[in-house]
Homo-oligomer: A and B are copies of this chain.
Amino acid sequence: MDIRSVREYLGSDWTAVQERIDLSLKSDIALLNATNSSILSNSGKQMRPLLSLLVARACSGCEATEATVRYAAASELLHNATLLHDDVADNSDQRRGVPTIMSLMGPSVSVLVGDYWLVKAMELILGGSEGDHRVIKIFSKTLSDLAEGEMLQLQKAQNGDTGQDDYLRIIYNKTASLFEAACVSAAISVGASEEYENASRDYAVALGLAFQIKDDILDYAGTESVGKPLGVDILEQKITMPLLGAFAVCPEKEQHIRGLVKSIADHPENRDEIVAFVKGNGGLEYAVAQLDKYVSQAVSALAVLPPCVERDMLEELAYFTAKRIM
């Protein structure tokens, strides 16, 4: 799938989102503008506003509304705000193959610019006049989910006791909740029926889980060349789906491997044994099966929506998620 062709298809709606993002971030503080430009020049796939626009158009059969554009822009700002903060939390040097703001300009800029993007996202969600209180509540829950998800992940990494349920909660909070907010707010922005709104939610949550599982698979099985460092999760003591899959297949070694993960800071050389355990016990295949399950769920949810180009594109995006290499 070619993301660029989806953007071209969305035409002036896509341009409107980009302009809304630029307008929101504009400040008279030079350091802020310079940092914002640097982030925007490496903005990646922009999956969330893409989803917002496609959902709004699929639900309504029309172009996006002013509110759709605002919520779409807000989702992208919110996503980048969390990346700026996660880079500080994880001390990350690279993202999408280029140096992070954290590594270029230090933790202070990364934290403060993250705060600024978060605030600007909120302003977009609140809207010009009265705002839509339901949408405000949805994004407010997502913000809470994001913060709690990162804290739970940190706690579980410290304790070394992440189970399947913990993992699903963490990836829902970290990723699926914002996919959900982007799609449901878009449905609301065009006055979609409850049925369409629920379909948008089911699609978004399943896609978000699939997206994060794929990310976690790539950490074991990606290629360095596409700009994503590999094997970072284990070094950060994060137990993700591939490892949980191998535990399911080979429970007798679970305790030993969890011990290695927990002491990885002192013994980084143990990473090879952990990776070999995952690969030797079908951990990747297990994770791929889970990924496929959520992709299927996402595609099934779309059946409720009226057939249209946008629905086809949402379906393609789900399959693309399963196949993407970065």
| B119, A144: Cβ atoms closer than 8 Å | yes
When all copies of this chain in the complex are counted, the total is: 2
Which residues of chain B come closer than 8 Å to A137, judged between CB atoms? 126
Count residues of chain A with CB under 8 A from any CB of chain B.
41
Instruction: Choose among B85, B123, B131, B144 the residue that contacts A133 (Cβ–Cβ < 8 A).
Output: B131
Question: Which residues on B sit within 8 Å (CB–CB) of A123?
Answer: 140, 144
From A150-158, A209-217, A292-300, give the one contacting chain B.
Answer: A150-158
Give the docked Cα–Cα distance between A115 and B88 (Å): 13
Instruction: Decide if A143 is an interface residue (CB 8 Å cutoff).
Output: yes
With a cutoff of 8 Å between Cβ atoms, the chain B residues found around residue A27 in the complex are: 148, 151
Chain B residues whose C-beta falls within 8 Å of the C-beta of A152 in the assembled complex: 29, 31
**Counting CB contacts under 8 A, is A183 at the interface?**
no
The prevalent SS among residues of A at the interface is helix
Give the distance to chain B from A106, nearest Cβ to Cβ, in Å: 9
CA distance A91 to B107 in the complex (A): 9
Proximity bits, A66-104, B CB within 8 Å = 1, else 0: 000000000000000000010011110000000000000
Q: Which residue of B31, B90, B119, B151 is within 8 Å of A29 (Cβ)?
A: B151
Give CA–CA (A112, B31) in the complex, Å.
24
A31-B150 contact in complex given A85-B115, A133-B131, C-beta closer than 8 Å: no
Interface assignment of A147: CB less than 8 Å from any CB of chain B:
yes
Q: Which of A32, A147, A154 has the most CB of B within 10 A?
A: A147
Partner of A107, one of B107, B115, B120, B144: B107
**Smallest CB-CB separation from A113: which chain B residue?**
B151
Most buried by B among A107, A109, A120: A107
Are B31 and A115 in contact, CB atoms less than 8 angstroms apart?
A: no
Is A151's CB under 8 angstroms from B89's CB?
A: no
B133 touches A112 (CB 8 A): no
Judge whether A226 is part of the interface by a CB distance below 8 angstroms: no
> CB distance B111 to A111 under 8 Å?
yes
**CB contact between A116 and one of B31, B133, B136, B147 (< 8 Å): that residue:** B147
* Max chain B Cβ within 10 angstroms of own Cβ: one of A29, A31, A32, A111: A111
Knowing A147-B115, A155-B30, the reply to whether A108 touches B122 (Cβ < 8 A) is: no
Known: A140-B126, A155-B30. A148 touches B88 (CB 8 A): no
Pull 18 A–B residue pairs with CB atoms less than 8 Å apart, ordered by A.
A29-B148, A32-B148, A32-B155, A85-B111, A85-B112, A88-B108, A89-B111, A89-B112, A107-B107, A112-B150, A115-B143, A115-B146, A116-B144, A119-B143, A119-B147, A122-B140, A130-B133, A131-B136
Given contacts A27-B148, A123-B140, 8 further A-B contacts (CB under 8 A): A32-B151, A85-B112, A89-B107, A91-B107, A111-B111, A115-B150, A116-B151, A126-B140
